[in-house]
Copies of this chain bind each other. A is one copy, B any other.
Amino acid sequence: MAKEITPRSENYSQWYNDLVVKADLAEQSAVRGCMVIKPYGYAIWEKMQSVLDAAFKKTGVQNAYFPLFIPKSFFSREAEHVAGFAKECAVVTHHRLMNDPDGNGVIVDPDAKLEEELIVRPTSETIIWSVYKNWIKSWRDLPLLCNQWCNVVRWEMRTRPFLRTAEFLWQEGHTAHATAEEAQAKAVEMVHVYADFARKTMALPVIVGHKSPNERFAGAFDTLTIEAMMQDGKALQAGTSHFLGQNFAKSFDVQFADKDGSLQYVWATSWGVSTRLMGALIMAHGDDNGLVLPPALAPIQVVMVPIYKTEEEHDAVIAEFEKIKAQLEALGHSVRIDDRDTLRPGFKFAEWELKGVPVRLAMGARDLAAGTVEVARRDLLTKETMQLEGIARHIDGLLADIQQSIYDKALAWRDANIRKCDSWEEFKEEIKKGGFLLCHWDGTAETEQKIKDETKATIRCIPVDSCVCEEEGVDIYSGKPSKGRVVFAIAY
C-alpha cells in the first residue's frame, strides 16, 4: 500500500497529491475545484476546529452566522477590497430552474433573473459590516468580537486539495473596537493564538510577522501572518490577522457614540485560518510511508493489531487489547482495535502507517505469554517490545513525547534551512535551493516586486519575534539602507 506513494525526493508535489488521496483525506468532486473532504480528513479538521474554537472563546470571541450571499453592490463600497476579492467568484444570477420545453432535463428559467446578482462570499467583511451598522450604536456595544465557521468560494484557476480550492472551509473573526490601539492589539493577540495553535497542536514551527504592503489583505492597514516551511523548502502562509483601520466602518457608515457623546468611526480587525492548515500539516510532517500526525490532531492515536493463528489466540489477544483500550480511553486517548479478519497484519501495519496513527501496538500469543507487547511509533518508525505492566501510562507519556518530537524535528529542519543572505548574486543562487532567506530590504514595494519578478521569491514576513532581524544594513537588491532583515521565500 505505502509503496504506491511517490517518494518526496522524486516528486514532492505528486507525493502530496498521492498522500491526500491514499490516506483518505480528500478527493476531487464532479465540480471543478471543489473537493470532498473524506471522513478521515474531516476528523482531523474537526480536531483543529475544536482546539481553535476553545482558544477563540477564551479571548472573549463569540460565534455567529452571516449570509452565504453578498449583494454585488457591497463589493464596490470598499475600493481596495473589490479589486482584491470581487473578481474571480461564483455569481448567482437566477433563482429558478424549469423543465426544458424541448424535453432535455432542466434549464435555467429566464424569467427568474435576480434584480441584483449575489456573490457567494469569498470573505465576509462587507456583509458583516453592513450588519454591524445595526449592532453598534454606543461605546457600550464595543468591543464586538464575532467569529464564524463557514464555507467560502474563490474561483481559483489552478487548484490543489486543501492548499487552494474553489470552495474551502474556514473561520473568519471580525472584531470592532473603539480605538485603533485596541484593534491593533486584538490583531496581534489573534495571530499569536494561531501561532500557539500551530506550534502546540500542529507541531508546526511558525514565524510570526507583518506582511509587506504588497502582500497585505485587500483593504487592510496591516496584515500579520504565521509562516511555516514545508519539506520542499517552500513557505506556506498558515493564518493571517488583519488590522483594517476604519476602512469598512467608513464604507458601511458604522459609527458609535463615544463617552463624551461624539460620533466616531469604529476600528476593525479580521483574522482567519482555513482547511489550508490540513495541507500544511500533511506537507510539514509526512514521509514516504504516508502521513505523520501529531497526537493532538490524530483521530486515532493508538491502533492495536492482533496477531493470531487460532480463534483462541485471537480472543485472548483481543481481551488484553480491550483492557489496555479502556485504560487509554480513561486517560483521554482515542484507540482503535483493528479486528478486521479479512486482512493480514502486514497490510494493516502499512495502512495505519499511511494514515499516520502515532502509536501502533501488535501482540501475538507469544507476547501475551511473556507479558509483553510490541510498540511502534510512527514518527521515528521504531519498534520496541514492552512490558504489559503499566503499558497505558507508558503510552500516555509516549504520545506526549511524540508530539514534542515531531515539533522538534520540524523546528531543527526549518532552522537548518534559514540562511542569512547579503548579496544579490548569492540570493539568486540560494533561493533556488529553497528555505527562508533573511535579507535586508529597503522597505519599498518596487524593490519587492523586482525581486519577485526575477526570482519568484516574495517577502513572507517582517518578523516580530526574532531579534536576529533587528539590525541595520543595505538592501540586497537596491543597495539602499535597510532597518532590518525580512524573510524571503518561494511560497505556496
In the complex the two chains form, is A67's CB within 8 Å of B120's CB?
A: no
Q: Contact at B72–A97, with CB atoms within 8 Å?
A: yes
From B29, B76, B146, contact of A106 by CB (8 A): B76
Question: A59 an interface residue at 8 Å Cβ cutoff?
Answer: no
A38 touches which of B64, B70, B151 (Cβ 8 Å): B64
For A35, the closest partner residue in chain B by CB is B67
Residues of B within 8 A of A489 (CB): none
A382 at the binding interface (Cβ < 8 Å)? no
Residues of B within 8 A of A29 (CB): 66-67, 127, 130-131
Q: Decide: A63 and B42 in contact? CB cutoff 8 A.
A: yes
- A89 and B93 CA atoms in complex are apart in Å by 11
Which residues of B have CB within 8 Å of A73?
105
Measured between alpha carbons, how far is A68 from B90 in the docked complex, in Å?
A: 11
A27-B134, A37-B64, A46-B63 known; A90 vs B89 contact (CB < 8 Å)? no
The stretch from A80-88, A220-228, A364-372, A409-417 touching chain B is: A80-88
Complex contacts, A105 vs chain B, CB 8 Å: 72-73, 75-76, 82
Chain B residues lying within 8 Å of A39, measured Cβ to Cβ, are 62-64, 146
Residues of B within 8 A of A169 (CB): 65
Question: Measured between alpha carbons, how far is A95 from B90 in the docked complex, in Å?
Answer: 5
Task: State which residues 87-109 of A face B: CB under 8 Å.
Answer: 87-98, 105-106, 108
- Closest-CB distance, A337 to chain B (whole angstroms): 15
Which residues of B sit under 8 angstroms from A153, Cβ to Cβ?
68
Can you identify 18 A-B contacts, CB atoms within 8 angstroms? A27-B131, A31-B67, A31-B71, A31-B118, A37-B65, A38-B64, A43-B62, A46-B63, A67-B167, A73-B105, A86-B106, A91-B97, A91-B108, A92-B120, A93-B108, A95-B155, A108-B117, A140-B342
Sample of 20 further A-B pairs with CB below 8 A, known A36-B65, A39-B146, A42-B65: A29-B67, A30-B127, A31-B70, A34-B67, A39-B63, A43-B62, A43-B63, A69-B167, A72-B97, A72-B105, A88-B96, A90-B118, A91-B92, A91-B94, A91-B95, A91-B96, A91-B97, A120-B120, A150-B151, A151-B151
